[in-house]
Amino acid sequence: MPVTSPSIPLWRQLQSTAHVLLDVRNGRSLTQVLDDVDRTLRPGVQALAFHVMRVQGRAQALRRELARRAPPPAVDALLCTALALAADSEEAPYEAFTLVDQAVEAAKRDLSLRPSASFINACLRRFLRERERLMAATDADPVARWNHPAWWIKRLKADHPLHWEAILAANNAKAPMALRVNVARISPAHYLQMLEVAGLAAVRQGETAILLERALPVQDIPGFTDGLVSVQDAGAQLAAPLLLQGLASQRPLEVLDACAAPGGKTAHLLEQGGVRVTALDIDAQRCERIEANLQRLGLSAKVLAADAGEPASWWDGAFFDAILLDAPCTASGIVRRHPDVRWLRRESDVDQLATVQARLLNTLWPLLRPGGRLLYCTCSVFRAEGSQQIKAFVANNTHAVHLPSPGHLMPHFRAGGRTVPDNYTGDHDGFFYALLEKRPA
């Protein structure tokens, strides 16, 4: 099904999508690049760019088969954009010949690309003629088959030898739009009735999650502007209740959300009731997003632009009853929502981020009162950022007790029946959760 507006020529969308791909190849995130796209083009370009990112391994392998010598970067970006969109005939958003025609037109309409228009035309028409042979030839390349970097595939095989294929398949699927119902304002059952009245199909998952059959702009989601729901993956919705379970108190619990932006988990903690939350983020602009999200929901927290790893600059010495450490990570568990992540990350990032995570754990642990709990979580499937991190921490902290908690949750989707055994039921991203309790000295 076409994803562009009928009033905007496809060649313009392809030009812009190729520029997006080139910027991502140069190290910018897809989110940043799409923010720079003209608003009239953005919806179609975003849809095309997500598709292109999910098939980039295959597209690059096909380009190498069609042209052994790499063309200039801008030419290569346009060619790989077209190849990614045409590679799978069942998933292609347009007919193959339309894509070829419009990709060539995109080259002709750009002065810098015009000399390469015939080259792009020849490569794409050859692909159409030899599609079956070329697809079979590139199947031998794991990067083409799985559309992930070789180092990523190797690490997944080592970390999850029984399930690495299911994880990669889930990463390449489209994520649903998941909502978190604000149970302080409305029950999930009543909210589902609201959706039904609005003619929107949805299913409930877990305690507070609602999965929409069709994604919508947030302003079109019933009750969003009134604070009845927030957009949050079902797996991410486990954090707040997991941290607060069993921490009943006569007074409001003092809770630290150490890496809080954009504020989804902060808000969920407050929606649980009986807490006062201090929310930190090192980026002042991201703190503004926390404030905006809380304001929409009618909630309040102490929001500080501060480095969680430098408590001397913000901590008043009063111990916390609970700490949520949603630590910086590779984001290897949310690839289906951020398909550029796999191409932006380097293998060395895993160890570098694991060092940051260990420093934050060791720095924040002394801020927790005896008997209090710390929930360590990452949106990563790599064990260096999850189970290995916690194993090392508990081994070096005799007062830390590892309580029952989910551990590694692998990205999981409903389509096609692919599942990871013993995983959290339903459709969700990949996460790691470890709940730690501080034993009194």
> 243 has which bridge partners?
none
> What is the distance of C-alpha 339 from the center of its chain?
8
- 8 Å CB contact between 436 and 394: yes
Cis amide leading into 262 (omega within 30): yes
> What is the distance of C-alpha 71 from the center of its chain?
31
The CA-CA-CA angle for residues 175, 423, 433, to 5°, reads 85
Q: What is the pLDDT of residue 415?
A: 40
Q: What's the pLDDT tens digit per position in 407-429?
A: 999 997 554 333 333 344 578 99
- 8 Å CB contact between 79 and 71: yes
Q: What is the pLDDT of residue 91?
A: 82
Instruction: Specify the DSSP class assigned to residue 319.
Output: P
Report the C-alpha gap between 201 and 196 in whole angstroms. 7
Instruction: Specify the DSSP class assigned to residue 412.
Output: B
Q: What is the pLDDT of residue 161?
A: 96
Q: What is the pLDDT of residue 417?
A: 35
Q: What is the pLDDT of residue 104?
A: 98
Q: Where are the beta strands (DSSP E) in 175-221?
A: 177-181, 202-205, 209-212
Take residue 139 and report the two structure tokens written for it: 């199947």
Q: What's the pLDDT tens digit per position in 334-368?
A: 999 999 999 999 999 999 999 999 999 999 999 99
**Neighbouring residues of 152: CB distance < 8 A, sequence distance ≥ 6:** 332, 342, 345, 347
Report the C-alpha gap between 393 and 397 in whole angstroms. 6
Reported as a pLDDT band with limits 50, 70 and 90, residue 29 is very high
**Neighbouring residues of 220: CB distance < 8 A, sequence distance ≥ 6:** none
Please, what is the average pLDDT of the chain? 93
- 8 Å CB contact between 429 and 233: yes
Residue 344, number of CB atoms within 10 A of its CB: 18
Q: What is the pLDDT of residue 422?
A: 38
Q: What is the pLDDT of residue 416?
A: 36
> 326 has which bridge partners?
377
379 is catalytic: yes
Taking residues 294-315, what's their average pLDDT? 96
Taking residues 149-175, what's their average pLDDT? 96
- 8 Å CB contact between 61 and 153: no
Take residue 216 and report the two structure tokens written for it: 């919508």
Taking residues 187-202, what's their average pLDDT? 96
Q: Does an H or E element contain 321, and which?
A: strand 320-326
Of 80, 123, 329, 379, the catalytic one is 379
Closest residue by Cα to residue 272 from 257, 261, 286, 259: 257
Reported as a pLDDT band with limits 50, 70 and 90, residue 7 is confident
Reported as a pLDDT band with limits 50, 70 and 90, residue 92 is confident
Sheet strand arrangement including 253-257: 302-305, 275-281, 253-257, 320-326, 368-378, 431-438, 400-409
Reported as a pLDDT band with limits 50, 70 and 90, residue 1 is very low
> 212 has which bridge partners?
177, 202
Closest residue by Cα to residue 423 from 203, 268, 235, 239: 235
Report the C-alpha gap between 264 and 233 in whole angstroms. 10
